[in-house]
Each structure stands twice: as C-alpha cells, then as structure tokens.
Amino acid sequence: MNPGFNGIHPEPIERHLKPLLLEISSGRYQIGLATDGDADRIGAVDPSGRFIDPHAIMALLVEYLVHERGMRGSIVKTVSTTQMLNRLASRYSLELHETPVGFNHISALMMREPVLLGGEESGGISILGHIPEGDGLLMGMLLVEMIASRGKTLTTLLNDLMAAPDIGPFYYARVDQSVRPFNKKTLVTGLMGALPPALASHPLTHVSDRDGVKYTLDDDSWLLIRPSGTEPVLRIYAEGRTEAQVKTLLHEGVELAQRQIAALS
C-alpha cells in the first residue's frame, strides 16, 4: 500500500479524475466511479466523460429511492449542498433538515429519526437502513442499480431530472481564497451587518448564519461564504440556475468577503 496514493490526490472531484474521465469517454463504459482513500466519499462519471458531482448524485438517488423503491424518510443536507434536495423534499412531501458542514451533524440526525438520505457537498452520503456515515461504495452500487433498473444511461437520467420544472436545472461551483488569519465570528457578524439588497440581480429571500453566511435568492439560487474550520481559508460556494449566474455569484461573493476582510484590518 502506498500511503502517498502514488502522488494522486485521493479526493474524488473532477480536477483529480482526468484519467478516469478520459477512459470513460472512450465509449466502452456505462459509468465510472471514484472514491476517496477510505471510500466514504463518491464521485461519478457518465458515458460521455462528464463528471457527476455529489449534488447530482444525491438528487438522483433521492428520486430513485422514493419513486422506484418506495422508501420514505427525511432528507438531511449540509448548508453547502444542492437546493435540488429541497425541491425533491417538496415534491415528495418529505421533511428536510439543513445542518452545518460535517457529516457528524448528519449522523446525529440519522441516529434519531428515519433519514432517507443524508449527504454533503464533499461526497459523503448514506441512506436509510445503513450506517450513519458516508459510504461511497454503496452509493456507487446504487447508481449502477438505478441505471440497470431503469434501462437508461446516467446522462439521460440526470438530464431528465434537471429538465423537470419542479427540480432543475441547477449548477454549482466553489472557490477557496487564502487569507490572513482572522476572527471568524467577527467576519460573519460583519457580513450579516452589511447585507446586499440583491445578488446576481436577484433579491435575497433568506439569510442564515448557521455556518458562515448563506444568502438564498428568489429563484432558489444561493451563495455561501464560509470560513474554514481548520485553516485561514474562505470557502465561497454558489449554486445557480445557469452557469453564468454561478460565475456572477462567486464573483460577488469574493467581493463581499474581501471587503469584510479589509474592514477587519
């Protein structure tokens, strides 16, 4: 065993999976799957070589578990996870919980009530009847089962879900900004005290400081500015209805964060 993973970053995200994306796009495969080192996180690749992120995986699995398996339960997601889960919860009349980042918050709810699916942006996902911890291997097998059961490609299944007017489309991106050490609580207080009337030309409908500051807009897009819990880094997340909107949200999020960091000087 090579504890250095042969020089490969053991994180199943798009920028670390170029060889897998290239291999799957050869046309010989229906799906590509990747996990991190201890296999609690999952990433997937469709037959065209497109990376399928955890947000899409969670949305696909909720729809499959409810519609095909007839399973019920609440949905638990972290603040940095897709709004598609909120919309699926509304479609199927399921309770939805939003927690701070960290699977421990999801686990706590899974041990207290029947949770259909719990997951976070980083790819940790678990389901009802399984352990209260992320399991990338099980999620990969469920994706394969879904493809076989429905007789459709992963590409088609995701495109169908994104085209459903009550669910999608949604696009997601994140940027990390290295900054000098700062007081996280003071930064959050400053952001909450200087709320913009709108972001990406959409008015705010809700703002939360549960874990960082999350701005939700009138079209269900959102921006999250969240200090890292372990290093002097600001994580800025955005989900929007178009890729262009996501870029605008990230740009405006960086500007908001930089103004507050400067004000702390």
**Domain termination residue (choose one: 105, 137, 168):** 168
- Write down the pLDDT at residue 82: 98
Q: Quick one: 251 exposed, middle or buried, by C-beta within 10 A (0-12, 13-18, 19+)?
A: middle
What does the pLDDT read at residue 194?
A: 94
Find the Cα–Cα–Cα–Cα dihedral 158, 164, 166, 167, rounded to 10°: 10
CATH code at position 156: 3.40.120.10
DSSP, collapsed to helix, strand or coil, labels residue 73 as coil
Q: Are residues 180 and 164 in the same domain?
A: no
CA distance 33 to 141: 9
Does residue 112 sit in the same domain as residue 162?
yes
Which CATH number do you get for residue 247? 3.30.310.50
Give the pLDDT confidence of 7-44 residue by residue, as tens digits.
777 889 999 999 999 999 999 999 999 999 999 999 99
Pair (75, 201) in one structural domain: no
Of 12, 11, 114, residue with least CA distance to 57: 12
Q: Are 120 and 98 in contact (CB under 8 A)?
A: no
Last residue of a domain, one of 168, 201, 225: 168
Residue 151 region by backbone torsions, left for phi larger than 0, else alpha for psi between -120 and 50, else beta: left
Which of 111, 141, 168 delimits the end of a domain?
168
Same domain, 185 and 238: yes
* Distance (Å) of CA 14 to CA 60, 173, 195, 200, 244: 18, 11, 33, 26, 19
Residue 181: predicted pLDDT: 79
The tens digit of pLDDT for each residue in 172-210 reads: 999 999 888 788 899 999 999 999 999 999 999 999 999
φ/ψ of residue 125, rounded to 5: -140, 140
Q: Residue 110: what pLDDT?
A: 98
Positions in the chain whose pLDDT score sits under 50: none
Question: Do 97 and 178 lie in a common domain?
Answer: no
What pLDDT score does 2 carry? 65
For all residues of the chain together, what is the average pLDDT? 95
pLDDT in the model for residue 109 = 98
Residue 220 belongs to what domain range?
Answer: 171-263
